[in-house]
Structure 1
Amino acid sequence: MRLIAIGDNVVDIYKDRNEMFPGGNALNVAVLARQYGAAETAFIGIVGNDIEGEHIVESLKVNHVDIRNIRKAYGESGKAYVDLNDEGDRIFVSSNKGGIQSKLKLKLNREDYDYIQRYDVLHTSIYSNLDEELPLLQKLLPISYDFSNHFTEDLLKKVCPYLTFAFVSGSDLLDTEIEDLIITIQRLGTPNVIVTRGSKGVIMANPHHRFLQGIEKATVIDTLGAGDSFIAGFLTSYLDGYSVKDSLKVAAVKAAKTCEVNGAFGHGKRLMA
C-alpha cells in the first residue's frame, strides 16, 4: 500500500518540557503509515524557512517519507503550544494559526497531479485547505479525510461527495448524534465513516455493516497523535487487504502505543534557551 498525505504540518511545542515535536494530522499520518508497513508514503505541504521547518523536514526524511514536492516558504512554520492541565492531560494552549501555510494556499500543479496518482490513497484534513482540489483528486485515487470535531453542515456537503473514508472525532457527541452524523455523511456520498469516541472506542459504518472497536490498554504518557495513529493504522491495514474488523483492531493497538510516547511519533528537539 502506498499513501500520500497533503496539507497540515506543525511543531507541537511542549511548554513543560521545553521541547518541540513534529505534528499535524496530514504529516502524522504520512509518517505513521510508513512506520506501520506502508510500502511508500509521501507528504506535500508548506513549511517555513525557520528552525521549526527544518525540524519538520528532517523528521520526514528520517522516517523515509518522500518529500520531493514539499514547499518551503519565507515565514513561520505552524506552531501549536501544548501544556498540562490539572489532571496531567495535554491541552492546546495557543498557536500561530498555521503560520505561513495559512497565508499561502497550497496550489497543486500538473507535476503534482502526475505524482499523486502513483499512490493508492490520499489523506488530508479539515486543516489542510485542500477542499477545492477534491473534485479533481477524487478522479485519480480514493481520498481519506479527517474532520476532527470542527466540521460544519456546509463543509460536509462540500467535501463528502468526493471521499472514500471520513474520520470524525465524536467523543463529545451523544450516540444518537453519532448515528445521525453517520447517516448524513453516507447520504452525501462517503461510503466509509469512522467515528472515534475517546474511551468508548470507535464505531465504523460501511454501506453494509456497523463495527465496534474498543480501546486497547496502554501506559499513557501523552495522548497527542493517538487519533492520527488510528487513521494510519486503519488505512495501512485495510488497503493491504485486512478485513474491516482486523483493521480496526490493528488501528486501536497502534493508537494505544502512540499514547506511550511523547509526540505523535517522538522525534523531539529541545528548544533554544
Structure 2
Amino acid sequence: MKYTSTLILALIATVATGQDYSFKVLASKGNNEIKTNGAWTPLKTGASLHTGDELKLASNGYIGLVHKKGKPLEVKTPGSYQVAQLESQVSSGSGIVSKYTDFILSNTSPETKKNNLSATGAVDRGEYHAIRIALPEHAGIYHNVAPVGWTGDNIKAPFIVTVMNMFDEELAIYETEQTSIQLDMNDAKFARENAVIVEVKSKTDPNQKSKRHMIKKLGAADHVGIEKSLTDINTVAQEETALNSYILAGFYEQNKLYIDAIGAYEDAIRLAPDVTAYKESYTEFLKRNNLQ
C-alpha cells in the first residue's frame, strides 16, 4: 500500500511538472541551446521551457516561442536569456492559442514527417495534368486575396491564368512569367460571384494545363464564425510577425481554410526568409493535404 501511494505521488508530480512549463518552442534557427539543471543541450522544436531554464541564442539565430498563456514571443538578438526574464516580457494572451500551437507541433514531429514522406506519391490524382495547382479542387476562402501557385515537370512559361464563373463564362485572363498569382476576390470582376473557377495553361504549349479548381467565398454565417474565432486569438491576429503568421496557418488549416493557410505560410516565410523551419512546415502542409 505504501509502495502504491508513493507511485501515485510520483505520477502526480510528473504530470504537474509536465504542465508547469513557461514556453513551448515553435521554431528555432541556428545552434541555439537550453540550460536545464546546470547542463547545456541543443534546443529543439517542441521543447518545453521552464522558469529556471536559460536560453542561449546563437549568432544569426532565431527562436519562436509561445507562452503557456498563449502569447507568442520572437527572440532575435544573440545572447543568453533567463526564461524568467522572457516571462516578464509577456503580456496577457489567449489560452486558445495553445490549441493551434499543439496542432502545429504534432504536424512537425519526426514521426509525422516520416509518415508524410512514406505517403508521398501514393495519392491517385486521376487524369494526368502537366500543371498542378497547389489548391484543393474545391476550397473555401475567408480573406479577400487568394494566392494561387502551381508546379509541374518541365512546364513552359509564360502562363495564362483564366478565371471563370460557374457557367464557364470568362471573368478575367492573366498572363505571367511566374508560377503564382494573387487573385483579389473583391475585384469588380468577381465581386458578384460566390465562387470562381481557376485554370492555368502554358501559353506556348496548350497541352500543358491544370485541372480546374474552385475558390468559394465563405457564406455570411461561416465568415462571422471565423471572424469571432480570430477575435478570440487576437494576440496573433493583430500583429504581423513571422511567428504569428505561422500560428495563423495552423488555425486556418484546422478550419479547413487551406487557401488562407497558404497565404499565412507565405507571410511567415516572407517575414523570416532565413528561418528554414517555416519553409519546411509549409512543405509538410502541402504534402499532408495532397497539394503538391
Normalising TM by the smaller chain, what interval?
A: under 0.3
Rg larger in 1 or in 2?
2
Q: TM-score, normalised by structure 2?
A: 0.24
Higher RCO structure, 1 or 2 (CA under 8 Å, sep 6+): 1
